[in-house]
Amino acid sequence: MNYVPEDKTLYRLLEEQSRETLPKSLMPHFEDDIHDLVDGVKSIIKLTLEKNPDANIDPKRQVAHKLEVWRSTKEKHLAYYKYVAFAEEHKLRQKVLSFQDFVNKHYFSKWQRIDELGVKKGAKIRVKGYGDLYTVKGISAHLSVAVEELSDKHFNPDQIVSVVG
């Protein structure tokens, strides 16, 4: 196809694709952003056709790509808001990570692990390579976990095997 589809076609394609690929937790955000997504897909198609009028553009592929990029970005933004609220709630003393640092693969995977396990101050954790249960003293802004029993040791969230209570 070498023309820009109508808005209603793009809305329909986006809604179909969203039902197939997006988790329910993102649907309210998708509904808020659908107009911007339609505009984004249209502008990509227009720019492509301006550069190459004979281009064969598949609107479904354009929609799928735009939706995947939106999903990834939205998940990271929502996770960052959760991290900032977490930092505020736990009164983290060190400098809180910027969004750019947070979405760095290293820190983002640490955050996902902490969030997934539900690590928080006062929880008992079991750490890989250490036999005892340890009480979480705190979590640094750079997402390492301090325990009360070992004053000079911080654990990487990947070392935590489980949270008990």
Which tens digits make up the pLDDT trace of 88-112?
887 776 678 889 989 999 999 999 9
- Whether residue 154 is contained in a domain is answered as yes
- Whether residue 36 is contained in a domain is answered as yes
The predicted structure's pLDDT at residue 1: 65
Q: What predicted TM-score, i.e. pTM, was given to this entire model?
A: 0.77
Which tens digits make up the pLDDT trace of 108-164?
999 999 999 999 888 999 999 988 899 998 888 889 999 999 888 899 999 999 998
Clarify whether residues 12 and 67 are in a common domain. yes
Which tens digits make up the pLDDT trace of 14-66?
999 999 999 999 999 999 999 999 999 999 999 998 998 888 889 999 999 99
The predicted structure's pLDDT at residue 87: 84
Which tens digits make up the pLDDT trace of 53-78?
888 889 999 999 999 999 999 999 99
Residue 36: both structure tokens together: 């911007």
Residue-number span of the structural domain to which 40 is assigned: 7-89
The predicted structure's pLDDT at residue 68: 96
- Whether residue 113 is contained in a domain is answered as no
- Whether residue 140 is contained in a domain is answered as yes
Contact (Cβ atoms closer than 8 angstroms) between residue 32 and residue 78: no
Q: How far apart are CA 43 and CA 10, in angstroms?
A: 12
Clarify whether residues 136 and 81 are in a common domain. no
Q: Left if phi > 0, otherwise alpha if psi is -120 to 50, otherwise beta: which for 123?
A: beta
The predicted structure's pLDDT at residue 94: 66
- Whether residue 158 is contained in a domain is answered as yes
Clarify whether residues 80 and 127 are in a common domain. no
Clarify whether residues 19 and 80 are in a common domain. yes
The predicted structure's pLDDT at residue 33: 95
- Whether residue 94 is contained in a domain is answered as no
Query: Which residues is 124 bridged to in the sheet?
Result: 135, 164
The predicted structure's pLDDT at residue 11: 94
Secondary structure, 3-state, the chain: CCCCCCHHHHHHHHHHHHHHHCCHHHHHHHHHHHHHHHHHHHHHHHHHHHHCCCCCCCHHHHHHHHHHHHHHHHHHHHHHHHHHHHHHHCCCCCCCCCHHHHCCHHHHHHHHHHHHHCCCCCCEEEECCCCCEEEEEEECCCCCEEECCCCCCEECHHHEEEEEC
Binning pLDDT at 50, 70 and 90, where does residue 86 land? confident
Clarify whether residues 79 and 127 are in a common domain. no
